[in-house]
Amino acid sequence: MASIIWLILWILIIVSLVGLPLIFIILFYLPLPPVNGEVLTPYLFLSMMVDPTRTLPILHFIIHTDLFKVAVFPGFSFAALLAAVTIFVERKFLAKMQLRIGPLYCGKIEGILQLLADGLKLIAKEIIIPSGADKPIFWAAPIAFVATAAAVVALIPVAPGWVAADVNVGIIAVFAILGFFPLIALLFSWASNSKYPFIGGLRALHQMIAFEIPFFLSALSVVILSGSLNLTDIAKAQHPYWYIFFLPISAFVFFISSLAELERIPFDLPEAESEIVAGWLTETSGMIFGLIQLGSYVKVYALSALFVVLFLGGWAGPQIFPKELAHGPTAGLMGLLTLQGVYNGVTVNAIFWFTVKTLGIIMLMLLPRGISPRIRIDILLHTGWYKLIVLTFINMFIALALIYGGILGPGGLLTAH
Amino acid sequence: MEKNLEHQIDESEKLGMQIVKESEDDRLMTLSVGPQHPGSGHFRFTIKVDGDYVVHCDPDPGYVHRGEEKMCEYRNFIQNIPHLERPVIHDSANITYSYSLAVEELVGIQVPRRGQFIRAIASELDRQIYTLYWLAIYGIFLGHSTMFMWPTGDRELFIDLMDALSGARVTHAFNIPGGVRNDIPDGFKDKCLRHISYFEKRLKEYEDIFYTNPLFIQRTEGVGILTKEDAIGLGVTGSVLRASGVPYDIRKAEPYDVYNEIDFKVQYMKSGDSLARAYVPLLDMKESCHIMRQLLDKMPESGEVRAKLQPTPKGPPGEAYRRVESGRGALGYYIVSDGSPKPYRVKISVGSFRNMIALPHLLVGSKLADMPSVYWSLNYWPVEADR
Amino acid sequence: MTIATKISSSSAAGMIKAIESGSKHLVIKRFTLRYPEQKLKFIGDGYQFDPKRGVGIAGSRGRHILFHDKCTGCQLCAIACEGIAEAIGMVKVDEQWKHNKKSIMPQIDFGKCVFCGLCVDACPFYALYMTNDYELSSFTKEHLIYTPAQLAIKPKYDGNVELKIDNMGATHG
C-alpha cells in the first residue's frame, strides 16, 4: 500500500518537473515544420494518426531532414548495418574457403545471430587500462576512430541527391579526413605504454602514410577525366561508360592502396599476430576493441563505396524498379499502399545498384584474406613508394591523352549530352 | 623516475634478486617473446632490437620440463612407454620406436618381420601427422590462415588411420619393446591407400596457394641462410640439415628394421634459407607416401607382430644407443641397464634441442619481421626439447 | 639423392594460381564433423587382448569393460597400472563367485587413467577389455571413479559417421 503511494508520488514529480516543461518547449519554442502547407501542430499530428493515409507527408518530411540523412540512411546506421553484414559474411566466406563451418550455433540458421552475441560479450567485458597509460587519449582514440570513419561515410553519395554532406570539394575532403587515421593509430599506441603497441603503431604510421600518395594520385586521374571534384558530379559524369574501362590501372592501384589503408591482409602488419602480439591493438579489451572493429569495418564500407563512386559509375544501372507505383496522383487507401509521395523509382533503383556494387567490391576485398600471407614492412614500403606511384603516373598520362584526343571531357566523342 | 628505479634496484638486491637494468643506450629495446605470446609456443626467448634489426637473441628453454629422463628410472621397460610418448603426443610412434630399438638391443629380443613392417608404417603415418601440424603453424605464423586450416583438416586423414590401427588418435602407445601391440584391422590397407592418393592431390593445392605464392616467396627467400659448413659445424639435424645441402637421412645412412629393403630418395635442397627449410618437409611428405605404398605392398601376409616376453623383461647389464629419423630430426636413446627390470639411466637426445642452437646464430642481424619465419622453420617443438 | 627443383614463377602467375586454388575450394564440400549431432563410427568393439597368443586385437581404446564371470581378483591389472597412472584400485564386491575367492575386483579412476591399455595386456583371464565409449565427462571427480558394477555395463554407442572421399572432396557424412 505504501509502495503504491510512493510510486504515484514519483510519477507526479517526474511529470511535473520534466514532462510538462518538455511539452511546453516543443509547443512554444521549437519551430514546427510545415507539412503540406500547414504547420504541424499537435492537433494535426493526432488527426493524422487517426487517418493513416495522412502520415505519408510526415514520412516524406522526415526522410528529407538532415538528421535522418546523417544518422540513418546514407549515414551511420546504413554503414553500420553493412559493416555488420560484412563481418558475418567474411567469417562464413573464409570458412567455406577453408573447408570448415564458420559460426553455427547462434541463431537457428547457420549462426546468423553470432554478431549480436559477440557485441553483448564485448559490452560485458572489463576494460583493463595498463598502468602508466595516458588515460584521456586511451579513451578518446577509439571514439575518434569511429567518428572519423563515420565522417568519411558522410561524404559519399548513394543516390542522386542523397548525400549527408554535399561538399563541392568532396574528394579532397575525403582524403583530408583519411589523413587522420595514422595519427589516431600512433596516439593510441603511444598511450598504451607498452613495447608491442609501440612497434605496431610505428608500423601503422609508415604503412598508411606510404599508401596515401598512390591513393590520391589514382583518384586524381578520375578527377582529370570528369573535370570536377564533387563526388555526385563524378558519379553522374560516368553516364555511358564507367571509368574502370578507361583507367584499369588506376582502379587496381586504388584497390591495393585501400587494402593497405584498411589494414587488411595482406597488409595487416600493424596487427601482426605472430610477431608483435596484436600490434597497436594489444591493450584494447572489451568495448574499446568493439569500437575499433566497428570503425574498421565502417571504413571498409566507406572505401568500397568510394571505389564504386569513382570507378564503377556510382548508382548507374538499368532501371528495374517501376518509376511510379500508380499512374497519376491517388489518395486514400490506394495512396497509402502505393507510397504516394515517398516512393521514387529512380532513387530506389539507384540505391539498389549502389548496394549491389558496393557489396561486390567488399567481397573482392575479402578474397585476399584467404589466399595470401602477410607482407613484410620493407617490401611494403618499397611497393608503396616506388611501384605504385609509377603506375599512377602512367595512368595519369592515359587520362590526359584521352582528354587531349577529344574522346572524353567536354565536347568529346563519348561524353553524354 | 630515476630515483624510483635506483631505489627498487637497491631494495631487490638486498632481498637477493637482481633486476635487469635497461641498457644505457636508449636505442635497444628488449622484447620478451615468451610463453604467453601467440608466436612462440611453449618457449621463451628474449631478443634485443635496434629499430627493426635484431642484435641479440637469448633462448631460454625449460618451461615445460617434466623430468622424463628421471621418471624412466622408476618404471620398468614396458611401463615407460606411456609417459615417454608424451613429449610429442602426435608423433608418438617415432619417439617410442627408438626406445623400443634400444631396449631390444639391451634385452636381446628379435622382432618378427610383420611387426617390423607395421612399426615402419606407423612411423611414416606419424611423420605425416607431425609435419602437417608443423606446416599449419608455419602458415599461421606468416599470417596465412587458410594454410592453417587445410593441413589441420587433412591431418584427420592420417589420424583416422592411426585411430583404426592403434585405438587412440594421439599418444598411440603402439610401439612396445618386442614389436607392436596389435595387428592391423580389416580393411586397413584399402583405406590407407585411398587416403594416401587423396592426400597426394591435396599436396598440389598446398603448392598452389602457399609455396608458389609470390608474397610467401618474398618473405622467405634469402632469409636466415644457414650455410653447409655452419649446419654441419653447429650440429643441426633433420630437415634443417637437408635444406642446407647435406643429403643425410638416418633411414638411409644407418637403416633400422626394414628400411634397407625400401627404395626411396633423400630429398634435399641447396639454398639453406627459410624457403628451403619450409619446402623440404613437403618433399619429405611426398616421399613418405611412396614409402608407405611400398611398405603396404611388401608386408608379409601373416605372421606374428609381437615377440613373446615376460611381463617385466630384463637383460644383462650393458648399454645401448639407437637413433631414428623422426619429424624433427635424429631422435636417439642411450639406455644403461644394470640387470634389473628398470633402466639405470636413460638419456634422450632430441632433434629440437639440437636445432635450437641455430636460432641465435640466424636471428642476429635479421629483421624483426623475419623472426617467426626463421624460428619456426628450424622445426623446433618446445615440449620435446624440454622433455 | 635428388635436388628438388627450385620454385620459380613470376609474381602474376603465382597470384593467379593462388586465387584459382582458393576459389576452387568454395565449391568443395565442408570437412567438419559436427560433433554432438554426428559421431564417428568405430569398427569393432574395442581393444582386446588375447593372452594365449600374446598379442592384442585392434580396436578403439575407450572406457573399460569388466566381465564379472571371468575376473579372479588376481590384481595383475592394478600392478601393471602402478607404474603408469595408479588408476586401478582393488575393492571388495558383494557378489560371490567361485573363481573369485577374495571377492575383489578392480575399480578404475578415469580422472587418472591415460587409456594406454596396458592393464588389458596384463589380464590373463580375458576379463578386462576396452570399449568404444569415450564420453565420460561428469560434474565431480568422485563420479569419475567407476566401481566394478559400473564397469560391467556394456556401453551404447551409436556413431555412424565416417570419412568419405569422393571427387568433390573429403567429408564426414
% residues pLDDT > 90 (chain B): 19
The confidence score (pLDDT) of residue C1 equals 29
pTM greater than 0.95: no
On the question of pLDDT at A333 being above 70, the answer is no
C18 closest CA partner among B221, A256, B276, B217: B217
Contact B327, B130 (CB under 8 A): yes
List of chain A residues whose C-beta atoms are within 8 Å of the C-beta of residue C32: 99-101
Residue in B closest to A368 by C-alpha: B144
* Cis status of the peptide bond prior to A266, with omega within 30 of 0: yes
| Amino acid of residue A226 | S
- Give the domain range for residue A117: 70-404
% residues pLDDT > 90 (chain A): 10
The confidence score (pLDDT) of residue A102 equals 84
Reported as a pLDDT band with limits 50, 70 and 90, residue B314 is confident
Interface test with A, best of C11, C26, C37, C168 (most A CBs within 10 A): C26
**In total, how many domains does chain B have?**
1
Average model confidence (pLDDT) across chain A: 82
A343, three cell numbers = 516512393
C169 in contact with A, Cβ within 8 Å: yes
Contact C77, C122 (CB under 8 A): yes
A198 lies in some domain: yes
Average model confidence (pLDDT) across chain B: 85
Reported as type and span, the H/E element at residue C48 is strand C48-50
The confidence score (pLDDT) of residue B345 equals 92
A263 lies in some domain: yes
List of chain B residues whose C-beta atoms are within 8 Å of the C-beta of residue A375: 215, 218-219
Q: Which of A98, A101, A371 sits opposite C18 (nearest CB)?
A: A371
ipTM score for this prediction: 0.85
A93: left (phi over 0), alpha (psi -120 to 50) or beta: alpha
Contact B37, B49 (CB under 8 A): no
Q: How far is CA A387 from CA A395, B219, B340, C8, C148, in A?
A: 13, 18, 72, 22, 75
The confidence score (pLDDT) of residue B206 equals 87
CATH number of B129's domain = 1.10.645.10
Residue-wise pLDDT for A92-143, tens only, equals: 998 888 888 888 888 777 788 888 888 889 888 888 888 888 888 888 999 9
Cross-chain Cβ contact B149/A98 below 8 Å: yes
Residue-wise pLDDT for C18-70, tens only, equals: 888 888 888 888 888 888 888 888 887 888 888 888 888 888 888 899 988 88
Neighbours of A332 (CB within 10 A): 10
Reported as a pLDDT band with limits 50, 70 and 90, residue A52 is low
Contact C171, C31 (CB under 8 A): yes
Residue-wise pLDDT for A358-401, tens only, equals: 999 999 998 888 888 888 888 888 888 888 888 889 888 888 88
List of chain B residues whose C-beta atoms are within 8 Å of the C-beta of residue A369: 145
Contact B334, B353 (CB under 8 A): no
Contact A290, A302 (CB under 8 A): no
**Phi first, then psi: what are they for B29, rounded to 5°?**
-120, 135
What's the rounded mean pLDDT across residues A326-330?
63
What is the per-residue burial (b if ≥16 Cβ within 10 Å, else e) of B134-173?
Answer: bbbbbbbbbbbbbbbbbbbbbbbbbbbbbbbbbbbbbbbb
| Amino acid of residue B378 | L
List of chain B residues whose C-beta atoms are within 8 Å of the C-beta of residue A376: 218-219, 367, 369-370
Q: How far apart are CA B131 and CA C13, in angstroms?
A: 28
List of chain C residues whose C-beta atoms are within 8 Å of the C-beta of residue B308: 54
Contact A256, A210 (CB under 8 A): no
Contact A205, A261 (CB under 8 A): no
Q: How far apart are CA A349 and CA A158, in angstroms?
A: 11
| Amino acid of residue C75 | Q
Q: How far apart are CA A257 and CA A277, in angstroms?
A: 25
B123 lies in some domain: yes
B372 lies in some domain: yes
On the question of pLDDT at B132 being above 90, the answer is yes
The confidence score (pLDDT) of residue B19 equals 44
Residue-wise pLDDT for A177-195, tens only, equals: 998 898 998 898 888 877 7
**In total, how many domains does chain A have?**
1
Q: Is B357 helix (H, G, I), strand (E, B) or coil?
A: coil
Q: How far apart are CA B153 and CA B319, in angstroms?
A: 42
A104 in contact with C, Cβ within 8 Å: yes
B212 in contact with A, Cβ within 8 Å: no
Q: Is B25 helix (H, G, I), strand (E, B) or coil?
A: coil
Q: Is A72 helix (H, G, I), strand (E, B) or coil?
A: coil
Radius of gyration of chain B (CA): 23
The confidence score (pLDDT) of residue B58 equals 87
Cross-chain Cβ contact B275/C57 below 8 Å: no
Q: Which of B149, B367, B371 sits opposite A100 (nearest CB)?
A: B149
B6 lies in some domain: no
B155, three cell numbers = 591431418
B206, three cell numbers = 598446398
Radius of gyration of chain C (CA): 24
Residue-wise pLDDT for C74-84, tens only, equals: 888 898 888 88
Q: What share of chain A is helix, strand, coil (3-state, %, to 5)?
A: 65, 0, 30
| Amino acid of residue A63 | I
Q: Please count the residues of chain A.
A: 417
A113, three cell numbers = 545471430
On the question of pLDDT at B269 being above 60, the answer is yes
Interface test with C, best of A99, A375, A383 (most C CBs within 10 A): A99
% residues pLDDT > 70 (chain A): 85
List of chain B residues whose C-beta atoms are within 8 Å of the C-beta of residue C17: 208-209, 212
Reported as a pLDDT band with limits 50, 70 and 90, residue C5 is very low
Q: How far apart are CA A172 and CA A234, in angstroms?
A: 13
- Give the domain range for residue B139: 57-386
Angle at CA of residue B377, ends C31 and B151, nearest 5°: 5
Contact A332, A115 (CB under 8 A): no
The confidence score (pLDDT) of residue C4 equals 35
Residue in A closest to C34 by C-alpha: A101
Reported as a pLDDT band with limits 50, 70 and 90, residue A45 is low
A356 lies in some domain: yes
The confidence score (pLDDT) of residue B18 equals 43
- Bridge-based pairing of strands B28-33 and B44-50 is antiparallel
On the question of pLDDT at B23 being above 60, the answer is no
A381 lies in some domain: yes
B11 lies in some domain: no
Q: Which of B141, B147, B150 sits opposite A274 (nearest CB)?
A: B141
Q: Which of A266, A371, A376 sits opposite B369 (nearest CB)?
A: A376
The confidence score (pLDDT) of residue A145 equals 92
Average model confidence (pLDDT) across chain C: 83
Q: How far apart are CA B314 and CA B312, in angstroms?
A: 7
B25 lies in some domain: no
> Which of A152-166, A202-216, B18-32, C89-103 has the weakest average pLDDT?
B18-32
B12 lies in some domain: no
The confidence score (pLDDT) of residue C3 equals 33
Neighbours of A228 (CB within 10 A): 15
- Bridge-based pairing of strands C2-3 and B345-349 is unpaired
On the question of pLDDT at A65 being above 80, the answer is no
Contact B99, B81 (CB under 8 A): yes
Q: Which of A273, A372, A379 sits opposite B38 (nearest CB)?
A: A273
B285 lies in some domain: yes
Q: Which of C22, C76, C84 sits opposite B79 (nearest CB)?
A: C84
On the question of pLDDT at A40 being above 70, the answer is no
% residues pLDDT > 70 (chain C): 93
